[in-house]
Amino acid sequence: MLATLMKAAGNVGVDPSLINTYTLRRIRMKSKSPIAGACLALLSFLCIVASGSADAQTNPPPTGEAIVRAGTQASRPGPDEFFTGRVRVDDLWAADADINSSGSMVTFEPGARSAWHTHPIGQRLVVASGVGLTQEWGKLTQMIRPGDVVTCPPGVKHWHGAAPTTAMTHLAVTGSSSGRNVTWMEKVSDEQYNAR
Ligand code: MN
């Protein structure tokens, strides 16, 4: 059944990776009948297709001007799995049906950096404070300073982080496709980080 659902998802333009065993379990919990289960699955797909993307379902855009007040959204640490050193992420907004990009302020302590990664539909970085470094795979590391705007095109492997002895904070605006905005890869080694 999983393979059939994934094929059906692909046929209607839904990312098949959204269909997983968790989805199936939820459908089965709702009904013991395979036919009713299949109808539920079809309804789920139609909802996703009708809304244009998975993000639109989870983050309906506000109908009027909205202000999210400073201090109402908790900071979180950048996970060790994807970052080297101490990194703080302040999520600002999620992608929605109006603007399909999320925004976060990310602060890297000296020497801290992301792992190598790509973005399915790209990213823009605006350096807010400090001094940072960024590198595209196969190219030289570049220093970035407040006001610099970095364009990371879709699928281009890169990393970003702080300079060795100076922290850096940047705004990251990241495009989202089917609820995904990044593909993580290996960590940036000390040798790669220190190469100039
Ligand atoms: Mn990036």
**114-165 confidence digits (pLDDT tens):** 999 999 999 999 999 999 999 999 999 999 999 999 999 999 999 999 999 9
Q: Please state, for a pLDDT cut of 90, what percent of the chain lies above it.
A: 67
CA-to-CA dists, residue 50 to 12, 43, 96, 114, 180, angstroms: 11, 10, 14, 35, 19
**Structural domain contains residue 126:** yes
Distance from Cα 100 to the centre of ligand 1, integer Å? 16
Answer for the pair 131, 145: CB distance below 8 angstroms, yes or no: yes
For residues 154 and 50, which has the higher predicted lDDT (pLDDT)?
154
Rounded to the nearest whole angstrom, what is the distance from the C-alpha of residue 67 to the centroid of ligand 1? 26
How far, in Å, is the centroid of ligand 1 from the Cα of 159?
Answer: 6
| Total domains, the chain | 2
Q: pLDDT for 118-131, tens place per residue?
A: 999 999 999 999 99
Show the tokens assigned to 29: 């919990």
Confidence grade of residue 93 (pLDDT, cut at 50, 70, 90)? very high
Same domain, yes or no, for 188 and 125? yes
Q: How far apart are the first and last CA of the chain?
A: 52
pLDDT for the residue 86: 98
Task: Please give the distance, rounded to the nearest whole angstrom, from the Cα atom of residue 94 to the centre of ligand 1.
Answer: 16
Nearest to 92 by CA among 109, 75, 79, 107: 75
**Same domain assignment for residues 112 and 189:** yes
pLDDT at 14 over 80: no
Residue 146: inside a domain: yes
Mean residue pLDDT of the chain comes to 80
Question: Within a domain: residue 47?
Answer: yes
Long-range CB pairs of 16-25 (<8 Å, 24+ gap) are: 17/178, 18/48, 18/54, 18/178, 18/179
The range of the structural domain enclosing residue 157 comes to 76-194
Residues 119 and 168 in one domain: yes
Pair (92, 26) in one structural domain? no
Which is more confident, 196 or 194? 194
pLDDT higher than threshold 60 for residue 1: no
* Residue 7: per-residue pLDDT: 43
Residues recorded for the chain: 196
Residues 14 and 92 in one domain: no
Query: Are 83 and 167 found together in one domain?
Result: yes
The pLDDT of 37-56, averaged and rounded, is: 41
Q: Are both 34 and 131 inside the same structural domain? A: no
Give the gyration radius of the chain's Cα atoms: 20
Instruction: Examine the domain organization and report whether 111 and 16 are in the same domain.
Output: no
